[in-house]
Structure 1
Amino acid sequence: MDEAEREGTPREVTARCAAGAFAGTSDDGVRLFAGIRYAQAPVGDARWRDPRPVSPAEGIVDATRFGAVAPQQVNKAMDLGPDPVMSEDCLFLNVWTPDHADGQALPVMVWVHGGAYTFGAGSQPLYDARRLVASGDVVVVTINYRIGGLGFLDLSGFGTAGHVFDGNLALKDVIAALEWVRANIDGFGGDPGRVTAFGESAGAGLVTTLLATPRAEGLIHGVIAESSPVSSVYGRERSQRVADRFLSILGEHEPGRLRDVPAERIVDAAARVFAEIPAVDPGTIAFSPIVDGDLVPEPPVTVLAEGRGLPVPLLIGTNKDEASFFRFMKSPLLPISDEQIDRMFADLKVEDPLLTLPEMEQVRAAYEDTRHRAIGLGIARDVGFRMPTLWAVEGHARVAPTYLYRFDHATPFLRMVGLGATHGSELPYVWGSVEGATKGPVFRLGGRHAAQRISHRVMRRWTAFAHGAAPDAPDAVSWPAFDSDRRATLVIDGVDRVVDDLDATLRAGWGDEVLAFR
């Protein structure tokens, strides 16, 4: 990597790798190479087909602007930045690296964004990696992948010899990005032999699925999963029902015409399916990775619970009040009412008669100290996030170092409005964005200094893990690896603490049977 002789800030810098030469910028000790294409544009005949590698670029490629984000509906909870450009041509990544990375081999952290498999981008302002790079001495890569109907719809059963459709496209996009990283990151000062894939929500679901994907072996050397819906990965029968409903809404079943439909119509039809599926089948979602028997041979939650995942270190956890966000946003994604929860359990019994389900009285006993109107929130949180995480941890700890956390911190304002440590609330702490100007009312009632101290610890723990060490931070409690004797959990709050068997009551209520939706 060599720096252009140019005065002023930001300065121009150039990185050279197998994929070509890229001109980025350096500002305050951190370099950014934005909008690098890692796969060919998935447009025209390439829509709903596997990602295709790109040829090495000729000349010096401008990497000073983020690439287009995947087509999606506007979501007030998802800040895509000022005037985002949306396009199916969205397979871009961004590399953030410290100025001193020349000739080094720093650990690499590859971020897979969340957004219910339907929203978001790697270029969201929240994912500005400058503070994470500077505090942890790491290289950070943020990626885009296809989402919603263009990334998670499985049309493979509707194709013909002349019109072939592939499946698991978003997961394959993530793998293609990781392959690009393995081949090229050394040109940016990164170590291709020490890559940690990390993500939140849907992004965490993708990285935990990677642990059950044989093709990912050698591409990842660690995983950090924040609020992963580990068990929300479905089989072909369900994915085909979703695809059939999508085509009915779209009003188009002719394979030869599907690639001519404007992307906006696909996004709109997918949005309707996104809302309908959890209403019809509580506890399930329309779009997610697919157990296709090939790329993903088995349900990831089953593979992980049985200790058969890729044997790489895992740092994983959830937030204390995950479900409050979904209630606040009036989202259909989690079953919260008594009626929805009862229907979810009834559907599970119909789909898998051999499944040993706990009785509802047994489950509700785990929440006997919870106010009645909050029991649904607790069950929704635990069926969607906490219990699948616990099942995965119990098995994966047998094959690799595994660290379990629960994020409990909430600012006074978030506590006052009843959100607490809700879904996604750990993100500003992971990315250090509590340091700068923060949009919204989060700190209206104070709490910024406490948040900054917590953020410093979280960033140090996450990057220590990426370096291959225990996820510890200076002047904070040490975080022991999970084992079946202690079941140690790090509770992240104003003062971090380690609690043995934090989830004993939940485990007793839900039992040991892994609930893998089909």
Structure 2
Amino acid sequence: MQYIYTLLLFALLVCAPFRGGAQDKIAFGFPVQTQVASGTLEGSYSTRTGIQSYLGIPFAAPPVADLRWQPPQPAADWDGVRMAKEFGPRPVQRYVYSDMRFRSPSVSEDCLYLNVWTPTKSEEKGLPVLVYFYGGGFQAGSGDERRYDGEKLAEEGIVVVTPNYRLNIFGFLAHPELSAESDYGGSGNYGLMDQAAAIQWVHDNIEAFGGDPDRITIAGESAGSMSVSAQMISPLARDLLAGVVGQSGSVVNPERPTAALEVGESWGEKWLAAAGIASIAELRAASTRDIYEAFNDSQMGGPPVVVDGRFLQEEPLITFQEGQQAQVPLMTGWTSTERPWGRFPETADAFRKQVREQFPDNADQLMQYYAADQPTRSAIELASDTWIVLGTWNWADLHRQNSDQPVYRYRFDRIRPQLKGQENPMEMPGAAHATDIEYFMNSLDVSDGYDWQEADRRTASTMMAYLANFIKTGDPNGQELPEWPRLSEGKTPEVMILDQDSEAKPFEAEPRYRYLREMYQDAGR
């Protein structure tokens, strides 16, 4: 009997580390150190995967007190060895998205930290690098989210970095007083400047993790995709990039164009007035709680991305049309049903009425592309297109026209399982917004709140292989994967359909996007 008890105890001790998520894997190893510009870091070497992780690394000074609503400043040096085994605080934000599952201990204005996963062996150099920016509408998100875990992709021979950046009122406030105090005469976009500072930090320090500073690919989803399209044209970052990956979103969306500085400043003035705050000096003296509550109580939405004169020096569309964006390979696409939520018409007449109310000058032409006899489906497609797909399509087409670099375009069709235990799950007519993240990162095991099936794992394996190839070579093809053609000119150029059985198909919906672009151009947008 004692022998049986001993065996049971041994089994419990051996199997215990395998029951948890990424943090448990990190603990199952030994300490490892590396030297960056600011000092020595101690991370963890996983003996299960061979991946080293360094978490919570400061890449800029805490943006607090006088550094609130200022471009990011360099991180301070430290003495001795800094522990890098826990995620740093995430940016101040409301918890608004149920699929955001954080691993950081808290929220804080002191949030400018990044995380590194690397497969490098001792003295190994020259590995390709991925810097991934989270989505969340510039209102929420963090680099510590489970679905952005970099371990699986690092196992493919890539150094993976997930930075934080400031959000909402803390990251995007523009105001005449802020513009007057800056040396470039503008304000706003501080969160985007944080991203650029993270890219610069990676360029300057990534060799310490075995990475090649000349092989940095940036990627992101939703607001993160908008971000990487902006980094592609910003003078702060565009010369540091070797490739760009965008998932659902861009800054060349005619439905949501980048605002002029004056528009952002006006928003800032109205918000301060609504909050009962007389000046930027008074705002800087306020507590985090007071600012957070005033922002939420105002119900004004978030401040816009603006042409601030520093991060963005002109309208993004102009930069792309003149070919001044980073001349690098681009991989971008969208999900098959970006916006399946909301109240949609159930009859043909109701759909026609909705289109005429929303687009009175173009309703007849739009009906040629969105069939009234499928009212709900057509309404979802129109909402998805005008919300985010057209902007992504436009980005791909602009780069194809104004660059000699390849563009690889996809549509993600795999419907992600619902969260376990979710009450009244919505029936999905297609792959919804943000559901492609776990598949590209192959973070299914870390994002363990879903009932993943074998088809999901097959899809993720294919998609991660495409992403890894693109990061390494600028071309997603290889490893006997289905051939992914470059985006070409034509009436129905091929698009890569990503699912359990991925394949390239002619994109029959192409003409409607060309019409949508013309429609917005005619409207001066």
Look up the SS of the partner of 2:334 in the other structure: strand
For 2:387, which of 384, 389, 392 is the aligned residue?
Answer: 384
Note the C-alpha offset of 1:487.
2.7
Q: Secondary structure at the match of 2:505?
A: strand
Residues 296, 337 of structure 1: alpha-carbon distance in 2 compared, 3 angstrom cutoff: farther
- 2:422 is matched with none
Normalising by structure 2, we get a TM-score of: 0.83
> In structure 2, what is the Cα distance between the partners aligned to 1:488 and 1:40?
46
Pick closer, same or farther for the CA change 1:270–1:483 going to 2, 3 Å: farther
Residue 317 of structure 1 corresponds to 333
Alignment of 1:486-497 (within 5 A): 487-497=493-503
- Number of aligned residue pairs: give it: 478
Q: How far apart are 1:247 and its partner, in Å?
A: 1.3
CA distance in 1 between counterparts of 2:221 and 2:309 reads 25
Counterpart contact for 2:220–2:245, Cα < 8 Å: yes
Amino acid in structure 1 at the alignment position of 2:315? P
C-alpha distance in 2 between matches for 1:201 and 1:269: 26
Amino acid at match of 1:103: E
**CA contact 1:80–1:121 (8 Å) conserved in 2:** no
AA paired with 1:429?
Y
Mapped pair 1:480 → 2:467: no
Equivalent position amino acid for 1:146 in 2: R
**How far is 1:74 from its partner?**
1.8
The amino acid across from 1:311 in the alignment is Q
Give the corresponding residue for 2:369. Answer: 366
Inter-partner Cα distance in structure 1 for 2:466 and 2:431 = 19
Between the aligned partners of 2:438 and 2:417, the Cα distance in structure 1 is 16
Alignment-derived partner of residue 394 in structure 1: 397
Deviation at 1:322, TM superposition (A): 0.5
- Stretch deviating more after TM superposition (262-271 or 399-408): 262-271
**Letter in structure 2 aligned against 1:243:** G
Cα deviation, 1:47-86, whole Å, max 9, x if unaligned, reads 1111101243322111111111111112242534357311
| Aligned 1:145-184 pairs, distance under 5 A | 145-157=165-177, 166-184=187-205
Could you say which residue in structure 2 is the equivalent of 1:216? 237
Instruction: Check the 8 A contact 2:186/2:308 in 1, yes or no.
Output: no
Q: In terms of Rg, which structure is larger?
A: 2
The corresponding residue for 2:285 is: 260
* Percent identity between the two aligned chains: 28
CA shift digits 1:240-288 (9 cap, x unpaired) = 2321332133111222211012222323333355x545xxxxxxxx344
SS for the counterpart of 1:237 is: helix
User: Cα gap change, 1:160/1:392 in structure 2, threshold over 3 Å: closer, same or farther?
Assistant: closer
Match of 2:144 among 123, 136, 159: 123
Match among 462, 479, 494 for residue 467 of structure 2: 462
Deviation at 1:416, TM superposition (A): 7.3
Please say which of residues 190-199 and 402-411 is displaced more in the overlay. 402-411
Q: Which amino acid letter does the alignment assign opposite residue 360 of structure 1? A: A
Q: 2:504 aligns to what SS in structure 1?
A: strand
Deviation, structure 1 residue 236:
1.7
- Of 428, 433, 439, 2:449 maps to 439
Alpha-carbon offset, residue 390 of structure 1: 1.7
State the shift of 1:366 in Å: 1.1
What does the per-residue CA deviation read over 1:441-481, in whole Å, with 9 as the maximum and x for residues that have no partner? x54xxxx1011011011111111111124102533311111
Matches within 5 A, 1:133-152: 133-134=154-155, 136-152=156-172
User: Take 1:434 and 1:201, find their aligned partners in 2: how far apart are those partners?
Assistant: 19
1:270 corresponding residue in structure 2: 295
Selected match of 2:454 from 431, 449, 452 = 449
Mapped to 2, the partners of 1:383 and 1:497 lie a distance apart of: 26
Q: Relative to structure 1, is the Cα distance of residues 120 and 411 closer, same or farther in structure 2, using a 3 angstrom cutoff?
A: closer
Deviation per residue, 1:96-121 (Å, 9 max, x gap) = 10152642210000011111101010
Relative to structure 2, which stretch is displaced further, 225-234 or 370-379? Answer: 370-379
Does residue 292 (structure 1) correspond to residue 313 (structure 2)? The answer is no
Matched residue SS, 2:52: strand
How far apart, CA to CA, are the structure 2 residues paired with 1:386 and 1:305?
Answer: 19
Alignment match, 2:74? 53
Question: What is the alpha-carbon distance in structure 2 between the residues aligned to residue 223 and residue 47 of structure 1?
Answer: 30
Q: Distance in 1 between the 2:372 and 2:519 partners?
A: 24
Distance 1:122 1:266, change over 3 A: same
Using the alignment, how far apart are the partners of 1:343 and 1:155 within structure 2?
A: 35
CA contact (8 A) 1:234 1:288 kept: yes
**Match of 1:215, SS?**
coil
- Write the distance in 1 (CA, Å) between the matches of 2:275 and 2:426: 43
After superposition, what is the alpha-carbon deviation per residue over 1:411-430, rounded to whole angstroms, capped at 9, x for unaligned?
57699712520001101101
Paired residue for 2:261, among 223, 230, 236?
236
Partner residue of 1:304?
A: 320
CA contact (8 A) 1:19 1:184 kept: no
Partner of 2:510: 504
User: SS at the partner of 1:380?
Assistant: helix
For 1:304 and 1:378, locate their aligned partners in 2 and report how far apart those are by CA, in whole Å. 26
Structure 2 residues not aligned, in runs of 5+: 1-26, 345-349, 420-424
Q: Within 2, Cα distance between the matches of 1:309 and 1:82?
A: 35
User: SS of the counterpart of 2:240?
Assistant: coil
Asked if the contact 2:186/2:261 (under 8 Å) is kept, the reply is no
Q: Distance in 2 between matches of 1:161 and 1:190?
A: 38
1 CA distance for matches of 2:336 and 2:246? 15
- Paired residues for 1:26-65 under 5 Å: 26-27=45-46, 28=48, 29-65=50-86
Mapped contact 2:271–2:300 kept (Cα < 8 A)? no
Q: Is the 2:187–2:308 Cα contact (8 Å) retained in structure 1?
A: no
